Amino acid sequence: MNRLFGAKNTAPKPTLQGAIGNLESRVDSIDVQLSKLNAELATYQQRLSKMREGPGKNALKQKALKVLQRRKMYESQKDQIQQQSWNMEQAGMMQDNLKNVMVTVDALKTTNKELKKQYGKINIDKIEQLQDEMADLMDIGNDIQESISRSYDIPEDVDEAELDAELEALGEEVELSGGWDADSVGAGEIPNFLQGESVGGIPDFVDEAPLGQKVKEAV
């Protein structure tokens, strides 16, 4: 069977870089031949420049012309091989660019898939609701700050001169009586306007007791 159809070729297929290497080797070999031919032509040129016209000189010219023809043939072959090598190099560059493009496309596909997966977990409606709640809380905080920082101004209809006179009279009264009577207020007693419903009571504008207050009450 092998004699009729031949054995299966198991040799590795040639690569582009291998083909370019072979062409470069052929160019190097042609350069060696061209160097020999140029040296031979230089010798003929020197001999012809010293010879007189005649049959001998004509015969030497014919040899020089044949060498010149061979040199032109090698030069033409060298140009063709170099053009083939350049075409292969361009094909190699296109192949490398295509590989880079494929790698880029695969990376973009993977990134696109991951982005879709991550964005699919985000609920825009919940984000909008959270933003609205944050805005409402900011408004409430601003209202609380404005309420706390409100100033207690003296009414415009109060006469400052009258207040100064009253304060001066009050000072004279303290000097005549020998100071304030502590018994009239009660030593250590908290004034009524500072007392709540019970000592340690929670202000009525707070909805819930602080955490520490709840613990004490539980105990």
Q: Compute the distance between CA of residue 107 and CA of residue 110 in angstroms, rounded to an integer.
A: 5
Q: What is the pLDDT of residue 218?
A: 44
pTM above the 0.85 mark? Answer: no
| Closest among 132, 152, 153, 136 to 144, alpha carbons compared | 136
Q: Compute the distance between CA of residue 190 and CA of residue 193 in angstroms, rounded to an integer.
A: 8
Rg (CA), the chain: 55
Where are the extended beta strands (E) located within 49-174? none
Instruction: pLDDT tens for the chain, 219 residues: list them.
Output: 455 555 566 667 778 788 888 888 999 999 999 999 999 888 888 888 887 888 888 888 888 899 899 999 999 999 999 999 999 889 889 989 999 999 999 999 999 999 988 888 888 888 899 999 999 999 999 988 888 887 666 555 666 777 777 777 787 776 666 655 545 444 455 555 555 544 455 555 555 555 555 444 544
Q: What is the pLDDT of residue 112?
A: 92
Q: What is the pLDDT of residue 162?
A: 77
Q: Compute the distance between CA of residue 107 and CA of residue 105 in angstroms, rounded to an integer.
A: 5
Residue with tokens 């053009």: 83
